[in-house]
Amino acid sequence: MALNKVEICGVNTSKLPVLSSAKMKELFVIYQAGNRSARDKLIHGNLRLVLSVIQRFTNRGEYVDDLFQVGCIGLMKAIDNFDLGQNVKFSTYAVPMIIGEIRRYLRDNNPIRVSRSLRDIAYKALQVRDQLVSERSCEPTVAEIANKLSLPREDVVFALDAIQEPISLFEPIYHDGGDPIFVMDQIGDDKQTDTGWVEGLAVREALRRLSEREKLILSLRFFQGKTQMEVADEIGISQAQVSRLEKAAMQHMRKYV
């Protein structure tokens, strides 16, 4: 659904009111005195704030209507918890709460399921990061964040990695008017090559031509990593026999590989 549509969730965005600072303060005083209708006016009068915030998240593939509804929940929480005595503009207080609500929604609806404990660690790590950036005006290291949280560095790295948005292999990363370049065009696989695939087929064909005992010995030796003595004990023959059968099997396979 396009962001520039006039109507979102049944709300005509072109006709949303804009409240002055004086009117906002008046409504907050009335609402905090117990008038519920003032709360509705505060919500309606600040929906443009929600619209401005959700523009930051329109590239996530989420429906704008869904983001708008979640943003409204953040707005309502901000209205219910706003303290007039702090001498802070409502928008300054509300925007982080709206953003936080949307981010929680996006994390919880990530197609890759992440445990609650990991999400909590990641959320706390991001809070500490923002705090340190504010204090020092520079990006903190992961070790510094982990130290603040009294957690191992590896736990913080794992948690932050877990909440990263997955990227499609068909995500375009460059487009000059011709054919786009996708993420998959920049990924190489040195293991799964055509040569490796053909060699794998040859090995399987060679194994198929061995006797059952030879297959067992090679499996125990090279796939399970056992010594010749361990193989001998397992199948009930001498170590010398294992060595001889292994060598004969390898020579047999070389004819087909």
What DSSP line would sit under 27-41, residue for residue? HHHHHHTT-HHHHHH
The per-residue pLDDT of the chain, averaged, comes to 80
Domains of the chain: 1-109 (1.20.120.1810), 112-181 (1.10.10.10), 194-254 (1.10.10.10)
Phi, psi angles (nearest 5°) of residue 227: -80, 165
Task: Give the tens place of pLDDT for each residue, 76-128.
Answer: 999 998 888 888 888 888 898 898 888 888 777 766 566 778 778 888 898 89
Could you write out the DSSP letters of every residue in 123-149?
Answer: HHHHHHHHHHHHHHSSPPPHHHHHHHH
Beta bridge partners of 18: none
CB contact at 8 A, 256 and 209: yes
**pLDDT (mean) for 203-225:** 83
As a whole number of angstroms, the distance between CA 214 and CA 225 comes to 15
Distances (CA, A) of 60 to 63, 78, 100, 217: 9, 24, 15, 53
What pLDDT is attached to residue 176? 62
- Classify 172 as helix, strand or coil: strand
